[in-house]
Amino acid sequence: MVDTSQLTTTPLRTRTGSILVLDDDEAVRDGLADLLGAAEGLQVVGSAASTGEALTLVGAAEPDLVLLDARLPGPTGISACRELRSAHRDVRCLLLTAFDDEEALLATALAGAAGHLVKQVGGTAVVDEVRRVAGEPDVVSPTAVAAVRARLGLARVVEGRVVDGWGAVDPGREVLELVLQGRTDLEIAGRLGLHPRAVRAEVLGLFARLGSRRRGPLVPA
Amino acid sequence: MSAPCSDDPPTEDGPDPVAPGQTVEDLMVQVVERADEIIGTQVQLRSLLVANRAVVGELSVPEVLLRAVEGARAVTGARAAALGVLSREGGLESMVHDGLAAADVAGTRSLLERRLPADGEPAAGAGPAGRTTLTVPVRAQGELYGHLHVTGPREQAFSTEDEDLVLALAATAGIAVENARLHEESRRRQEWLLASSEISQRLLADDGGDGLAVWRQIVGTVHRLSEATLVNLVVPTDDGELMRVAVAAGEGAELVEGRTYPAGTSVGRRAMEQGRAAVLQSDAEHRLRSPGGLPQPVGPLMALPLQGEFGARGAVVVCRGVRQAPFSAVDISMAEDFAGQVAIALELADARSAQQRVSALEDRERIARDLHDHVIQRLFATGLSLDSAARSTVDPSVRDSLRGTVGALDETIRQIRTSIFALKYSKPAAASLRATVLGVVEEMTPRLGLRPVHRFTGPVDSVADEELAADVAAVLRQWLTGLTGLAGLTGLAGHAGVQHVSVELETDGQTLVVVVADDGRGLPAGTRRSGEQGLVERAARSGGELVVHQPSGEGRRLRWSIPVS
């Protein structure tokens, strides 16, 4: 299905439900390819075991969606996702997560991903969610961004510094704001005069800070 | 007269009479006598200088006093000298003497007790045994401090020169006493500072310090430095109606510890309310105080608040004996400063341990998440493979069976997800604490390669319910497993150097203390101690406090104290 809203975000071509799978675990990679390939309206155009491989394949196959594991080795799925989007701004990423919690939403928002998918095999949950996200107009999940903003909206000022809803003092506020707007590392780097890698490092730092404080008390602003 | 000072030349060294004539001889005798006198006076002056130097060279009050009496005896050639220090309440605080016969001591004491001379004028007169005596006042810091008293060796009265000399020496002694007091004060101030910095360091040490032990150190320090008979650290009960003696040091400490008394207008409560020291110096004031947890009548009393961010957390009550001196302004300010320092350190330690508890919680959860993340990944991968297989198979019964297994795997993943935030340790079957601990010891013996020694003190079974027994068992098991982790599979001895492990449980009915100690080399530097954090967190849930202590080069010691009353 193609609707008009898609044209505003991916104007160059019509989406075909093409998917790239990125997972370091071969069994998962093959299993997902098999599962999704069997689903009507979806096609797996490639599978990659590393971020570098995925970057090449995304350039070549131009998939609508990259399904990737949030717990990729090295600098995690967040980093991979941001790297992919810096190279291909409009590619949608779907993060596979073990848990369905605030941390998953935070990871999704900070990765600039279109959504997260909880690891589950049976039923049609995976296929349904992949279909849904592949057809969504938004490149970055509005749900995840809203959840993080709601949390940050409870920010308060403590001793002259902003403390967010997780209780974290937030020095990376500027980067965070641009991330939540869906900007890529390249864009943020250009705007703030930083190296894209520095932006990525800052985002991972934000994830660690905000993630580890997620149990902090909520204090209304 | 001659000075007994051996350093000085005897008077015979004076000019010898050589004149042949009677009148000349008379004259010469006079000259010689005069010369003797002059020389004698010079000798006296010289010995006064020596005595003065000796007196002012001393920095402790008792030494100053001793040098003063020795000096007084030397410069006057007296048979004996004594210095009586007056006490604030009248009477004599102390007396030092030199050359006094044992029989004369009591008489001299009573003489010096009488504040003679009334207004500081020297008094010459007959001493206890009819000897000629001279008594002069000693002043220090503008107050009459005591009297310097000399008993002559001769029949005739002391001369005015003798008087002047003794007065001069008394003045020097007074200054030296002042000096010594100031020195003593600064020394004590240093001691207090040292003590508070030691306690601060201990509170802020890496292991966070053992709560009760630090409190003991606090009262012990105050007891030692404030010349008190008893020091109590009192804290208000939850409702604020009572004060409880948390720890005590000094006479009868074991009797008052743990006791409660109405907070009312107690001196401790007053100090907490006003945020500074509350002092009761006299008996009259004592009657205002509501009865405290004090076993016997006390003298001067002061309470020092342990100020925290949200008011005082308690107070240190310092009691002196009935006959002891009141607290001086210096005593109070030093103790107050000390309490202030300690209170700050307590605040910091609290803040830090709260932070540590939070990070321990997060750390534990993080580990659990990581572990389960991995497990879920494996289940997910297996599920996907089975799902693929199910799709490719044509046999419907095989397909159904594979799909069933996929469903079971998904269910397992779901269960892990729901239980991840509510990790529960399995509880052993209901058993007494003693039996539970013995069970764990038995269970761990083969794995450790040695049998831990166990010891129970107090009614350990009656203070622990099933849940606490389960907690103790879990902590013991985890700790002992940690030891086997150090040693590998071949037993402890020779690896971590552990020869002995002891498990001790002790209770006084109010607190259960679990101590596990070993004599190994401890953890290598840099070893991850996340297991410990888990233990600390578990201990905190039972309202207790768990501390792991590892002195360098010695074994590790786990100490867990749990309030059970």
Q: Name B211's Cβ contacts closer than 8 Å, sequence gap at least 6.
A: B545, B547, B561
Q: Which residue of A has its CA nearest to B359?
A: A212
Judged by DSSP in three states, B145 sits in strand
Are A131 and A47 found together in one domain?
yes
What pLDDT band is residue B22 in, cutting at 50, 70 and 90? low
DSSP H/E element including B546: strand B545-549
Are A93 and A118 found together in one domain?
yes
Residue B174 is predicted with a pLDDT of 83
Distance, CA of B378 to CA of B358 (rounded, Å): 30
Judge whether A82 lies within some domain.
yes
Asked which of A93, A111, A140 is the last residue of a domain, the reply is A140
> Which of A23, A35, A120 has the alpha carbon at shortest distance from B416?
A120
Q: Where are the domains of chain B?
A: 11-183, 193-353, 355-422, 433-563
Residues 364-383 of B with CB under 8 A from A: 366, 369, 372-373, 376-377, 380-383
Per-residue burial over A141-151, b = 16 or more CB atoms within 10 Å of its CB, e = otherwise: beebbebbeeb
pTM of the model: 0.40
Lowest-confidence region among A9-18, B44-53, B193-202: A9-18
Asked which of A117, A140, A163 is the last residue of a domain, the reply is A140
Find residue B516's DSSP bridge partners: B503, B558
Which DSSP string corresponds to B43-92?
A: HHHHHHHHHHHHHHT--SHHHHHHHHHHHHHHHHT-SEEEEEEEPTTSSE
A214/chain B closest Cα distance in angstroms: 10
Q: Given B366, B373, B387, which is nearest A121 (Cβ)?
A: B387
- Tell me the fold of B193-353: Beta-Lactamase (3.30.450)
Give whole-number Cα distances, A17 to A10, A100, A127, B72, in Å.
Answer: 13, 24, 11, 113
Show the tokens assigned to B243. Answer: 């004060």
Q: Given A35, A100, A123, which is nearest B384 (Cβ)?
A: A35
Distance, CA of B294 to CA of B245 (rounded, Å): 10
Are A25 and A132 found together in one domain?
yes
Asked which of A119, A140, A161 is the last residue of a domain, the reply is A140
Show the tokens assigned to B178. Answer: 């002042």
Are A58 and A35 found together in one domain?
yes
User: Hey, are the CB atoms on B377 and A71 less than 8 Å from each other?
Assistant: yes
Assigned architecture for domain B11-183: 2-Layer Sandwich (3.30)
Are A123 and A161 found together in one domain?
no
pLDDT at A65 over 90: yes
Are A65 and A117 found together in one domain?
yes
pLDDT at B470 over 90: no
Higher local confidence (pLDDT), A8 or A105: A105
Are A58 and A44 found together in one domain?
yes
* CATH classification for the domain delimited by B433-563, as one of 3.40.50.12780, 3.30.565.10, 3.90.850.10, 3.20.20.140: 3.30.565.10
Q: Kindly provide the ipTM of the predicted complex, given to two decimals.
A: 0.80
Same fold, B11-183 and B193-353: yes
Q: Are B499 and B519 in contact (CB under 8 A)?
A: yes
Q: What mean pLDDT, rounded, does chain B reach?
A: 74
User: Hey, are the CB atoms on B384 and A32 less than 8 Å from each other?
Assistant: yes
Residue ranges of E strands in B185-300: 230-236, 242-250, 260-262, 278-280
How many domains does chain A contain in total?
2
Distance, CA of A25 to CA of A32 (rounded, Å): 11
Are A61 and A106 found together in one domain?
yes
pLDDT at A83 over 90: yes
| B367-372 long-range contacts, CB within 8 A, separation 24+ | B367/B530, B368/B420, B368/B423, B369/A98, B369/A99, B369/B420, B372/A98, B372/B416, B372/B420
Task: Please identify which residue in the block is written with the tokens 């730092």.
Answer: A205
Q: What mean pLDDT, rounded, does chain A reach?
A: 79
- Hey, of B359, B378, B380, which one would you mutate to test binding to chain A, going by the most A CBs within 10 A of its CB? B380
What pLDDT band is residue A78 in, cutting at 50, 70 and 90? very high
What pLDDT band is residue A217 in, cutting at 50, 70 and 90? very low
Peptide bond into B117 cis (omega under 30): yes
Residue A115 is predicted with a pLDDT of 92
Q: Given B358, B385, B403, which is nearest A31 (Cβ)?
A: B385
Show the tokens assigned to B119. Answer: 């207004």
pLDDT at B536 over 60: yes
Which residues in chain A are contacts of B414 at CB distance < 8 A?
120
Are A116 and A23 found together in one domain?
yes
Distance, CA of A149 to CA of A168 (rounded, Å): 14
Distance, CA of B461 to CA of A198 (rounded, Å): 59
**Max avg pLDDT among B123-132, B172-181, B200-209:** B172-181
Amino acid at A173: R
Which residues in chain B are contacts of A98 at CB distance < 8 A?
369, 372-373, 376-377, 417
- Interface contact A120, partner B, CB < 8 A: yes
Q: Name B329's Cβ contacts closer than 8 Å, sequence gap at least 6.
A: none
User: Hey, are the CB atoms on A31 and B383 less than 8 Å from each other?
Assistant: yes
Classify residue B394 by its DSSP letter: -
> Which of B384, B366, B61 has the alpha carbon at shortest distance from A29?
B384
Are A116 and A29 found together in one domain?
yes
Per the structure, the complete domain to which residue A30 belongs is given by 14-140
Are A48 and A21 found together in one domain?
yes
Residue B426 is predicted with a pLDDT of 28
Judged by DSSP in three states, B453 sits in strand
Q: Name B496's Cβ contacts closer than 8 Å, sequence gap at least 6.
A: B483, B486, B487, B518, B520, B521, B522
Lowest-confidence region among A108-117, A129-138, B473-482: B473-482
- Interface contact A40, partner B, CB < 8 A: no
Q: Which residue of A has its CA nearest to B364?
A: A212
Residue B168 is predicted with a pLDDT of 82
Work out whether strand B242-250 and strand B230-236 pair parallel, antiparallel, or are unpaired.
antiparallel
Show the tokens assigned to B485. Answer: 């982790």
Q: Could you read off the pLDDT of B548-564 as tens digits, one per residue?
A: 887 766 778 888 888 88
